[in-house]
Amino acid sequence: MLVRSSIKLLQFYMPQDPQDSDSGEIMSLREWRQAIRTPTTYRVGNRTLRIQTQFVSLVAFIGLVVLLVMYTYAVDHSTVSVESLKNKSSVKPYMPVPTTSSHDNYNSTYPLTTPKRTPKGILFRIGVVSDLDKGSRSKIEEFTWLSYYKKGSLLWNPVSKSIKVSWDAGDTTVLRSSIGESGRGMELSELVVFNGKLYVVDDRTGIIYELLDDEVIPFVMLNDGDGRMNKGFKSEWAAVKDRKLFVGGLGKEWTTNTGEAVNTHPQWVKTVSPTGEVEHHNWYHKYLSVRRMLGIEFPGYITHEAVVWSDVHKCWFFLPRRCSKDSYNDVLDETRGCNIMITADDTFTDIKVLHVGNLIPTHGFSSFKFIPGSSDQVIVALRSEENKGATATYIMGFDIMGKILLPETKIADEKYEGFEFI
């Protein structure tokens, strides 16, 4: 290979003219030797390097852009997956995902209908809902339970301290639900405004419904006891405190028909956030403190269906349904009504007792509210009657010192257990 290259170089430098052959041969040999000693030189210009550098940079940039696009696409899809999981969990009625701004966005409108000022006083809209017990089941529609929603007006004169109540003419609104438990449902025990909405509470299924346009929409379901039970909470009262809805039971031990203790599930209280997050609180000792103020110990009992928190007085107001120092008996219980008002501070260490009006053994408080604008000084309450199969409902008004402003007035033969300014 080296010989061939040498010959080619020799031929390249040899002159074509024969006369110059000697000198050409000498020059060619000299140049040939020099060519052998000198390494081959390659010409690489700056322009070539510049083009190659730009090309490599362009390829690297395009690759980086592709990687960024792929990464962004992957992140977006992972975010959507998390959000979809949140949305799926939020549809569960007992534990929706709360929003961080729910506290700031709380709607404190109360009552929902603006009161009207008239020469005779302030006119409010009011409503009551019924608990028909086993009679709630529809006789016409299968798997349907009913409750009556009655609306009216209340005229309050803060100067004369007078209260007048009138009811809307026409048919009472019928509320329907297809949700029941053990063949019963829509036994509504309370009506309450919370977060700018109107709610009713079913003491059979434990469901809290939103009442909207005379229709009931399930909001949350409350489980019995500590919340780990497969039975609905027997909700009897509801009150708003610290922008949460407190829902309580009867406040006494659950017993047999003859008074033997079974459990303390009715002595738990639930709190519900505006977004539907539920917490369970054991009020056993709080209910015990209230009961002992009346000198009652188990097997004696007090049942609570009317409890309200006052932001003005910073205390709880209780108007018990039944009071007895004797053991529970489902027949005798109908004649153990109370005419007592109990107040307790938030720690249940400062508890006071006051009598309201005359005692009517078959009548017991089932719901009450303070008149808006009265500085929580005036109460409007329902008293229900169940006696040997007959039922009735009465409305009355009084101040927190026990002075009667509106004597008991019958409003229906049905049993209404929820009252609210709507």
- How far apart, in whole angstroms, are the C-alpha atoms of residue 220 and residue 93? 4
Q: Which two tokens stand for residue 216?
A: 């009931």
89 marked as binding residue: no
Q: Which two tokens stand for residue 13?
A: 């430098």
327 marked as binding residue: no
Helix (H) or strand (E) holding 23: helix 21-37
DSSP 223: B
Alpha-carbon 365 to chain mean position: 28
- How far apart, in whole angstroms, are the C-alpha atoms of residue 45 and residue 286? 94
* Pick from 159, 153, 208, 157: nearest CA to 179: 208
- How far apart, in whole angstroms, are the C-alpha atoms of residue 372 and residue 266? 30
* Pick from 374, 422, 420, 380: nearest CA to 113: 422
End-to-end Cα spacing for the chain: 110
189 marked as binding residue: yes
DSSP 137: B
| Dihedral pair phi/psi, residue 332, rounded to 5° | -70, -25
277 marked as binding residue: no
CB 322 within 8 A of CB 335: no
* Pick from 388, 391, 394, 413: nearest CA to 339: 394
279 marked as binding residue: no
Binding-site residues for Ca(2+), in ranges, read 189-190, 236, 305, 366, 417
Binding-site residues, in ranges, read 189-190, 236, 305, 366, 417
